[in-house]
Structure 1
Amino acid sequence: MRTGRGSGLRTGLVLGGLAITGLALCVVAVGIGSAFIPPATVAEILTYRVTGLGDPAHWTLTQDDIVWNLRLPRVLLAILVGAALSVVGVVAQAVMRNSLADPYVLGISSGAALGAVAWLVLGAAAFGGATVGFAAFTGAMVALLAVAGFVRFTGSFSSSRLVLAGIVIGAGFTGLTNFLIFQARDNATTNSALFWLLGSLSGARWDQLPLPAVVLVAGVLGVMLLSHQLNALLFGDATAAALGVDPNRVRLLMYVIAAALTGVAVALSGVVAFVGLIVPHAARLLVGSDHRRLTPVAAVLGAVFMVAVDLIGRTLMPPEELPVGVVTAVLGAPAFLLLMARRTVHFGDS
């Protein structure tokens, strides 16, 4: 078993490596598009915008506008969405004690999508973007409670029961979402909603970023503060209670955090599948299952992963753009099947 000091050093090195990799990837991603901007120029523009250092004569006003107003908000939104969904995956797998749990498989993303689409189709989105996020949060919370309640009150807990409940309830929410879109009178609203449901970061704007950033930071801090309780839940409710942890209270708090993070992510990017499944498992391979280390690593790794996915979607079939939800589904489906076949991930070790 690794010592606490050794584990902390390993976590620090992993976070540092991911941060450097992510920063380099962001510079590349901001520069790639219909108008290519060299990484050195991107770095100069960003440095000047943030610190005021540099010579604006080295780049054009068009390049500055592309970097700062078009592509950087998209990359930052990818960071927020990837980190949020990854942390939700960590929470879901711990609370449900199921290696296959993630916001998409459990139907949480579908619930959030139903809430957001209902809000959009009914025209209530005119009250502001924050209201769409709240509608998505409400839908995510309803879906999560429905899955948890079904498993709790219809028999003994089992992984297969949990996954099947999530898939069925998610399918039901997806059906209702499609019905609302079908009933929409406005073709523009219908087309935008359908594209959004595939998962898209193309509409990113600076004014969209503050709310998800605040929710993400609050959610990560909440999970970090409750990391000891989450570690206890991995060994079952009886053991957790013996250690002085109230399982029901911890679950309720985690449900709220998971619903809030999923709600803001889905409200801004649509349904992005399997990020919460793939990334937590990859993070466990790097730092183990202790949530004090796992949560921040999963958040940073998820951010890097989503930036890479968005870059793939934008460059794979130019000039067409693949929605990020399509890319993550293609990557996540075989990973899900592999986990179901092998089931080698153990949640009690660190």
Structure 2
Amino acid sequence: MHSRFIILIILFSLLAVSLAAGIVTGAYDLSVADLWLALTGRAEELEQFLVWQVRLPRLLMAVVVGSALAMTGAATQGLFRNPLAEPTLIGVTSGAMLFAVGMLVFSVHLLAAFPLWVQQLGVSLASFIGALLTTGIVYRLAAGRGQLNVATMLLAGIAIAALTGAITGLLIYQSDEEQLRDITFWSLGSLSGANWTQVAIAAPIVITGGYFLGRDALALNAFLLGEREAAQLGFSVERVKKRVIVWTALIVGVCISLTGLIGFVGLVIPHVLRLWMGTDYRRLLLYSGLLGASFLLMADTLSRSILAPAELPIGILTALVGAPFFLWLLLRERRKISWL
């Protein structure tokens, strides 16, 4: 209990420091005094707007999305009983990408008469629908006779990702330069367009989904022993698998639809914590959410600062950290297999 309390203090402290650094750092730096005046409503109009309408919603969106991706990554790894798993394996990302690209390419004809915010909303809505649709297809392909075969779902996810990737490539081939630039920017992920409305949309879904994933933490612990053993311990294996998949699709789908593709958070964060404090999903899900939020906050602060006043897409930074870590995991798992 004492060690858990210390870990929570460390993670909450890291989150608070990351949030504070994100508020005062950027193309226009703020002092602590300026920040206090803005938070209390006594700052100049520019600084007031910068804090309340630009940085705070953006940073809160980073907290929501970072925690969402890390929690669902941990849950997916528990479902597949594989530390290299993440939500992309169930088709969420590939479907979101396909439908977002489709909307970006065809919105010129479909939404040309509407204001810009309607076009942006159309891309977000399309990507969310695509994420849920492809996940549903993968689920139906893997489900049979009232049971969900996790290995089949993995293969179905790979096949659907390949198919949607090919269709996405055809759409990109037909796009013009402006559309290609929008597609590239969306596929690299960004928090630059975050606002209070988006936070209000994403936060309730992520919090609710995180709560229900946490309720299945004991079942995910039992899954480590195998599905048959989990069933013998009294868990409804098929219901647990269905709940984890549905909540993962909803959480990741809404985050992707608002920020674009931000990779590797769901892979790196849970595994770092697993190496640190072991595999107990009663703690791992919560700790992953906290560390994922801090990680994305720090990545967003760097993305706004490295090339200021320009901005580096946040997906580039998460990939620069995540890809080497992923390769290290592969080498580590290969050494285990060769040793066995």
TM-score by length of 1: 0.82
C-alpha distance in 1 between matches for 2:289 and 2:57: 18
2:326 aligns with 336
Which residues in structure 2 correspond to 1:187-226 (within 5 Å)? 188-226=178-216
| Secondary structure of the corresponding residue to residue 273 of structure 1 | coil
Find the aligned partners of 1:345 and 1:65 in 2 and give their Cα distance: 53
CA distance in 1, matches of 2:23, 2:106: 35
Report the AA paired with residue 326 of structure 1. Answer: I
Shift of 1:287: 3.4
**8 Å contact 1:112–1:262 — kept in the other structure?**
no
- Structure 1 pair 152–253 and aligned structure 2 pair: CA distance change class (3 A): closer
Say yes or no: does 1:268 pair with 2:258.
yes
The correspondence for 1:38, drawn from 19, 31, 35, is: 31
1:78 aligns with 2:78: no
- 2:9 corresponding residue in structure 1: 16
Q: Indicate if the aligned counterparts of 1:272 and 1:325 stay in contact, CA closer than 8 A.
A: yes
Alignment of 1:303-342 (within 5 A): 303-342=293-332
Alignment CA distance shift 1:146-1:235 (3 Å): farther
- C-alpha displacement of 1:191: 2.9
1:209 alignment partner, SS class? helix
The residue type equivalent to 1:24 in the other structure is V
Amino acid at match of 1:61: E
More deviation in 115-124 or 83-92?
115-124
Shift in Å at residue 88 of structure 1? 1.2
CA contact (8 A) 1:216 1:261 kept: yes
Match of 2:201, as an amino acid? L
User: Which amino acid is 2:229 matched to?
Assistant: T
Which deviations, in whole Å up to 9, do the C-alpha atoms of 1:126-153 show, x marking residues without a partner?
7797775554344334444555666788
Q: Say what the alpha-carbon RMSD is for the aligned residues.
A: 3.0
Matched with 2:82 is 98
Match of 2:267 among 273, 277, 289: 277
Q: Secondary structure at the match of 2:87?
A: coil
The answer on whether the counterparts of 1:110 and 1:271 sit within 8 Å (CA) in structure 2 is: no
**Normalising by structure 2, what TM-score?**
0.84
Cα pair 2:80 2:150 within 8 Å, conserved: no
1:141, 1:255 within 8 Å by CA — same for their partners in 2?
A: no
Provide the rounded CA distance (Å) in 1 between the counterparts of 2:23 and 2:223.
41
Shift in Å, 1:326: 1.0
- The CA distance in 1 between the partners of 2:326 and 2:137, in whole Å, is 22
Cα distance, 1:288 vs. partner?
2.5
Letter in 1 for 2:58: R
Shift of 1:298: 0.5
Of 161-170 and 232-241, deviating more is: 161-170
Q: Which residues of structure 2 form unaligned runs of 5+?
A: none
Are the aligned partners of 2:26 and 2:301 in contact in 1 as well (CA < 8 Å)? no
Match for residue 52 of structure 1? none
1: CA distance, partners of 2:81 / 2:26: 42
C-alpha distance in structure 2 between counterparts of 1:212 and 1:223, whole Å: 16
Distance 1:158 1:206, change over 3 A: closer
